[in-house]
Every structure is written in C-alpha cells, then in structure tokens.
Chains A and B, each alone.
Chain A
C-alpha cells in the first residue's frame, strides 16, 4: 500500500463547477499537509498548507483535513479554464515530501 493515494484522473468539469480533489494516507504521524498545482512542463507551485484537522480557505480554494479518517481534500469553487493543471497532495515525513500521484484536472470553457 502506498503511503499516499490519489486518483490520477483525468477529471473533466465545466467552467464554474465546484471541484473536489482528494487524497488518503496511511501514516498517522503525518502532521503537515500541502496541495501543489503543477502546470505542464513547470515546477509545482504551493497552493495550500494545513497542519490541523478542519478547513482552511484561501480565495476560491478550500483545504480540508480529517486526521481521524486520514483523508484530505481540496475544493475549488467557480473553477476556471486556467485551473486546468495537475494537483498534487503532499505530506512531510522526516523533512521529505511524500507526494500523491497527482490528479489531472481539465476545466472546459
């Protein structure tokens, strides 16, 4: 079993839709959770960072962490074509980032 599981997609939605991206993890010692966005042929860009259970909101993005279920989510409201990218969840373990496989998102105009 991988430490971090993420559905690779692709996920295709119409413009304006609410997008839900999810990851599950197996190591209960993980404390820091991140979401990165990666456009094609670019490095990952840090989107959201959380370290406790609950919700964190930043503009159209909401990160949610449920440590009891070992489940994290990223919600994108009013999705735009410019949101089309690969979204990677990541967790820190001994200074290293453990990534999910990434979910490819396509927002159709």
Chain B
C-alpha cells in the first residue's frame, strides 16, 4: 500500500503554545488529505478535509481558528493546533486520498499518527 508519513510522532508542549503536525504522502500525489482525531478506545473522528490549493473544509463542531490546516502542495498538509490546551491532548491521524487510476479503486491511506500531550 501507499505510504503516508507524519511528523512528529509524539509531542509534548505547554499550555498556550502552538503545535504543527506534518502529513506527507510519499509515493503518490494527494489532492485531498484528511485530518482525524482519536480518543483512547474510540473510533476516528473526522476533523477536516484538506484540499490542495484551497481552504480546508471543517466538520461541524471543529473550530477552524483553533485547528489551522494548510495544504500547500500535492504531498504535504499541515495541521497547527493553536494555543493548545490540555483538552486538545489526543491522537491526531492524517490520511491521503488516492483516487486511483481509471477503473481502479479509490481509497485512503493513513499516517502513523501523532500523539499530542498538552501540559
């Protein structure tokens, strides 16, 4: 399967600081990437859809000024958690949409996740 990387894998920060998480698709161009949040023993919650060259689309209840998304190239999307607070501590996972070639399947490949702990 395709490879999607995330950096950093783990970050600890103080309350009030901002944290940037990078998501890269390594072997295909992803015009669309997705950002998810996952709490312990829970399923993934879609936060936003990141489209290359345009504004991200946020899911209901997700603050766009809190979670800034930039998709500046076909292989890189970034999520910045601004003014982080302890309740932002979570596991953040990105995925990249692979539309497939004609007749082939569309699917999403996930990054390994970033564990954020805000003290």
**Is the C-beta of A60 less than 8 angstroms from some C-beta in chain B?**
no
Interface size on B, residues (CB 8 A): 25
Give the number of residue pairs across the A-B interface with Cβ within 8 Å.
53
Q: Are A43 and B34 in contact (CB under 8 A)?
A: no
User: Which residues on the A side are within 8 Å of B49 (C-beta)?
Assistant: 95-96
Q: A41-B113, A43-B111, A100-B43 are in contact. Are A95 and B105 (CB under 8 A)?
A: no
| Interface of chain B: mostly helix, strand, loop or mixed | strand
Interface size on A, residues (CB 8 A): 21
0 or 1 for each of B83-119: is its CB under 8 Å from A? (1 = yes): 0000000010101010000000111111111010000
User: Which residues on the B side are within 8 Å of A104 (C-beta)?
Assistant: 41
Given contacts A41-B91, A92-B107, 6 further A-B contacts (CB under 8 A): A41-B113, A42-B112, A43-B112, A43-B113, A44-B93, A46-B110
Could you name 30 residue pairs across A and B whose Cβ atoms are closer than 8 Å? A34-B107, A41-B113, A41-B115, A42-B112, A43-B93, A43-B95, A44-B44, A44-B93, A44-B110, A45-B1, A45-B110, A46-B1, A46-B110, A49-B107, A51-B105, A88-B43, A95-B32, A95-B106, A96-B34, A96-B46, A96-B49, A97-B34, A97-B46, A97-B95, A97-B108, A99-B43, A99-B44, A100-B43, A101-B43, A102-B43
